[in-house]
Amino acid sequence: MTELIPAPRTFFWSAPGYQCVDEETTLDAGPGTEGVARWLRATVGAATGLPLPDGRDTENRIVLGIDPDLPAEGYRIVIDGFAPRIQGGSATGVFWGAQTFRQLLGPDAFRRAPVRPGQDWDLPQVTVEDSPRFPWRGLMLDVARHFMPKDGVLRYLGLMAAHKLNVLHFHLTDDQGWRVEIRKYPRLTEVGSWRARTKFGHRASPLWEEKPHGGYYTQDDIREIVAYAAERHITVVPEIDVPGHSQAAIAAYPELGNTDVIDTTSLTVWDTWGISANVLAPTDNTLRFYEGVFEELLDLFPSEFVHVGGDECLKDQWRQSPTAQARIKELGLAGEDELQAWFIGHFDNWLSARGR
């Protein structure tokens, strides 16, 4: 029973043996822990078939409570022959404790329906105490290159919670697809969310899946994902990639690209891997366009941080572009690398001015 994930700081047997959780077991949810009680009933209750009703007038109960002496995300579980206690320094800490409590019940507690209805569940009489070493425990999900339907994202969030990860880095745009509805710019999803085919394996592979690939999340889908994450004490950090990794956006709105270098109207959503040479033009029109994108994004994602990409921006088109070269001269920049830094700095300042 010491194989908990992640391994806790403290684990020891409170007393030899096990104690039972059964159909008579109630939940005694103290102030601030009501959301954890709902999660236990919906998740552990579904797996075990136990109703876990409210109740505090019995020893056969599970007690949820907040102990301000614990770290905010820390928890303590005590199972010692009396009512099992799950305590945390905040509701978040209690929720992480509930994840460990679920592990103590065994792997069948992770099912979606009971496989042996009516069984009693044994809890080892242990004390577990833990708190995270890192406040940011993130996982990045790239839905731009391979779209994941909403239900898959929700499942991913459930797995993150089980492992006590608390930040979903949501990579929503890239050369190969644009995945979030922006009502001001409908072509981003009408055009940018679909590509004609997909490369199998590495970009050097000669194999293709010759069928369209795509999809996107409506704004209500995003609200649902963010709310579902928040119930699991997970923050969703959106990423809109600029100024590179933007071919899907340029395919939808060709004026965003370097129109003085190539015919951007001929571009499609990229169907292979690697780093596309088609990057955003460093124009006022492009800046205003993406400000409009971020305005809608800020209404959907309450996270303190918003990711703007900024990586792997090939400079070939900017070197050839009279418009880009004029902007470098106008701003007194040393070259294309500083132009990229200026571009990212613009959105750094724009987002900071809005409290992000």
Mean pLDDT on 272-299: 98
Residue 101 has pLDDT above 70, yes or no: yes
pLDDT at 203: 86
Amino acid identity of 195?
A: R
Strands 61-66 and 85-88: parallel
The percent of residues above 70 in pLDDT, for the chain, comes to 99
- Between 203 and 314, the higher pLDDT residue: 314
Mean pLDDT on 319-346: 98
Residue 79 has a CB neighbour count (10 Å cut-off) of 24
Q: Are the CB atoms for 125 and 15 separated by under 8 Å? A: yes
Helix and strand numbers, DSSP H then E, in the chain: 11, 16
Handedness of CA 55, 59, 62, 68 (dihedral sign): positive
CA 160 to chain centre: 9
CATH of domain 10-130: 3.30.379.10
Residue 273 has pLDDT above 80, yes or no: yes
Q: Are the CB atoms for 289 and 220 separated by under 8 Å? A: no
**For residue range 54-93, what is the model confidence (pLDDT) as tens digits?**
999 899 999 999 999 999 999 999 999 999 999 999 999 9
Secondary structure (DSSP) of 136-162: --EEEEETTTS---HHHHHHHHHHHHH
Confidence of residue 135 (pLDDT cuts 50, 70, 90): very high
pTM assigned to the model = 0.96
Confidence of residue 309 (pLDDT cuts 50, 70, 90): very high
d(CA 27, CA 263): 65
Residue 1 has pLDDT above 80, yes or no: no
Confidence of residue 291 (pLDDT cuts 50, 70, 90): very high
* Active-site annotation holder among 312, 330, 336, 338: 312
d(CA 25, CA 215): 44
DSSP category for residue 40: I
pLDDT at 118: 86
Indicate the domain borders of the chain: 10-130, 138-352
**For residue range 217-253, what is the model confidence (pLDDT) as tens digits?**
999 999 999 999 999 999 999 999 999 999 999 999 9
pLDDT at 305: 98
| Mean pLDDT taken over the chain | 97
**For residue range 154-199, what is the model confidence (pLDDT) as tens digits?**
999 999 999 999 999 999 999 999 999 999 999 999 999 999 999 9
**For residue range 192-209, what is the model confidence (pLDDT) as tens digits?**
999 999 999 988 999 999
d(CA 37, CA 24): 16
Amino acid identity of 170?
A: F
Residue 315 has pLDDT above 70, yes or no: yes
Is-catalytic flag, 312? Answer: yes
d(CA 112, CA 114): 7
Phi, psi (5° rounding) for residue 27? Answer: -110, 125
Q: Cis (ω within 30 of 0) for the bond into 6?
A: yes
pLDDT at 2: 58
Tokens of 57: 């007038």
- Superfamily for 138-352? Glycosidases (3.20.20.80)
> Fold identical between 10-130 and 138-352?
no
